[in-house]
Amino acid sequence: MELLTGYGLWPVAIFTVIFILLVDLFHQRQRWTARYPPGPVPLPLLGNLLQVDFRNMQYSLYKLQQQYGDVFTLQMAWKPMVMINGLKAVREVLVNCGEYTADRPKIPIFEHGSLGPKAKGVILAPYGPEWREQRRFSLSTLRNLGLGKKSLEQWVTDEAGHLCDAFADQAGRPFNPSTMLNKAMCNVISSLIFARRFEYEDPYLLQVLKLLEEALSNISAFVPQILNTFPVLLHIPGLYDKVFSGQKNFMFMVDNLLTEHRRTWDPEQPPRDLTDAFLAEVEKAKGNPESSFNDVNLRMVVADLFIAGIVSTSTTLSWALLFMILYPDVQSRVQQEIDDIIGQGRSPEMADQARMPYTNAVIHEVQRFGNISTLNLPIITSQDIEVQGFLIPKGTTLITNLSSVLKDETVWEKPHHFHPEHFLDAQGHFVKHEAFMPFSAGRRACLGEPLARMELFLFFTCLLQRFSFSVPTGQPRPSDHGVFGVLTSPTPYELCALPR
């Protein structure tokens, strides 16, 4: 050290280290230069971190796509990631190459701390026997509990009625609907997982939602992205607990609910909910080290379904109500169809959906244009694959840009506008588009898609049946630009709900 300092060679040493790192990076790419995806030139150590706007990821990736094409490389520090954009490329990766792109890379912030590397669940778990076992269990258990049956439909309809009552209590005054939507969705998923429903002002429900919000804020903040890029920083004493206090508290809440559930579980009785069904599988699996049914996975499966089941549908409905106040002509046409098909004398039913093409088109357009999942969770190639003529080696992390599919300029008539006619033919019949991919596709497609579709139709039609929504008098027209986080949510807004 003294020798370097004394002769002024310290800058030379730093330059040499950086040069060696860059040579190694370019050497790794050398094998693929002719067919490896292009991308912006990375900076030493930082890669392309400074060339991506994390506050407006959707637009930032759109500009890069315009410059480098549908398949391009970004260097996150020293780790390359290949971005997949547009319908053709995304389908090629998720469907055509699905067997080799279903695995997950390790995500350092989820491998550390309160979760740990043994926690699998169904969302972040590596592709393999354990993941398949947990996904099969979750799908079959949800079906057994009523998914696709009249029993669960009635459950959702009843909750929609409670939500409408809560809206009516506002007596036409301006309010932000997001909190009430979160409460309603929390009750639906809580009923499936814990066989329990909460009153909207129940302190426990408010605490659950507060912890959930804190956990999601922790994950989507800038610092966690830095920790993922430079995971060595996670070993700084006390840093993880400070940065991820919300996530830690949320998992503590899940643990308390599971402890309470175990006390009341009767293995001799039919399962009340998904947790009971999982506990029964844990009992069967005792002594089998190959089984994925254990207490660690129980808390992760519950947390996965709890988070995904609440936030995604609630955020989509928040977009739906925003579009209704921004486009009152669309709202009026939906209400006319509700009046013609359902009337005011009964609640909507899933059987009505087939006879309501315009309402169905509006819900699909809300999902397309609202675009809550801008980016899919990362996947990793388990062998060399070819995408759009590019050769992508085994072990490469891929990010599929769902926004680029839902707003693909080569596919949609008006990709950057709210336009329900995207899902209607010339005769006004509903048509589903192959580029409609809000739940992703392939082996990692959202397992809660059937439940989400039921919730969106029943809640949306119940609300539009009972209320007309408008921008509060004196307030400016809300923005239709989203706020990027774990999900893309609307900029906070208020509305008035007037009984029809």
Instruction: Supply φ then ψ for residue 398, to 5 degrees.
Output: -115, 140
Beta strand 79-84 pairing with 397-400: parallel
Question: Between residues 390 and 296, which one has the greater pLDDT?
Answer: 390
Q: Are 264 and 275 a contacting pair, CB within 8 Å?
A: no
Give dist(CA 368, CA 412) in Å, integer. Answer: 10
Can you tell me the distance from the alpha carbon of 274 to that of 296, in angstroms, rounded to the nearest whole number? 15
Model confidence band, residue 233 (pLDDT cutoffs 50, 70, 90): confident
Kindly indicate the confidence band of residue 2, based on its pLDDT and cuts at 50, 70 and 90. Answer: very low
In this structure, of 46-50, 108-112, 240-244, 432-436, the range with the lowest mean pLDDT score is 108-112
- Mean of the pLDDT values across residues 241-248? 79
- The Cα 437–Cα 405 span in angstroms is 7
Instruction: Give the mean pLDDT of the chain.
Output: 87
Q: Is 446 annotated as a binding residue?
A: yes
Tokens coding 384: 């060399």
Tell me: pLDDT of 3 over 50. Answer: no
Distance CA 128, CA 134 (A): 10
pLDDT, position 240: 76
Region of poorest pLDDT, from 103-117, 234-248, 384-398: 103-117
Res 159 pLDDT > 90: yes
Q: What is the pLDDT of residues 192-206, one digit of tens each?
A: 888 889 999 999 899
Distance CA(87)–CA(434), nearest Å, equals 8
Per-residue tokens: 102 = 């279903």
State residue 25's pLDDT score: 57
Q: What percent of the chain has pLDDT over 70?
A: 90
State the angle between helix axes of 178-194 and 150-168 in degrees (0 to 180), rounded to the nearest 10.
150
Return the exposure string of 404-442: e unless at least 16 CB atoms fall within 10 Å of the residue's CB, then b: bbbbbeebbeebeebbbebbbeeeeebeeeebbbbbbbb
Residue 114 has pLDDT above 60, yes or no: no
Q: DSSP labels for 106-171?
A: --HHHHSTTT-TT--TTTSPPSSHHHHHHHHHHHHHHHHTTTTSHHHHHHHHHHHHHHHHHHHTTT
Q: What is the pTM of this model?
A: 0.89
Q: What is the mean pLDDT of residues 327-341?
A: 98
Sole residue written with tokens 């002509």:
329
Above 50 in pLDDT, residue 249?
A: yes
Q: Sorting pLDDT into bands at 50, 70 and 90, what band is 26? A: low
pLDDT at residue 7, rounded to an integer: 45
Distance, in Å, from the CA atom of 388 to the CA atom of 65, rounded to the nearest integer, reads 14
What's the alpha-carbon Rg for the chain, to the nearest Å? 24
SS3 call for 418: coil
What whole-number distance in Å separates Cα of residue 135 and Cα of residue 209? 26
- The phi and psi torsions of 497 (rounded to 5 degrees) equal -110, 105
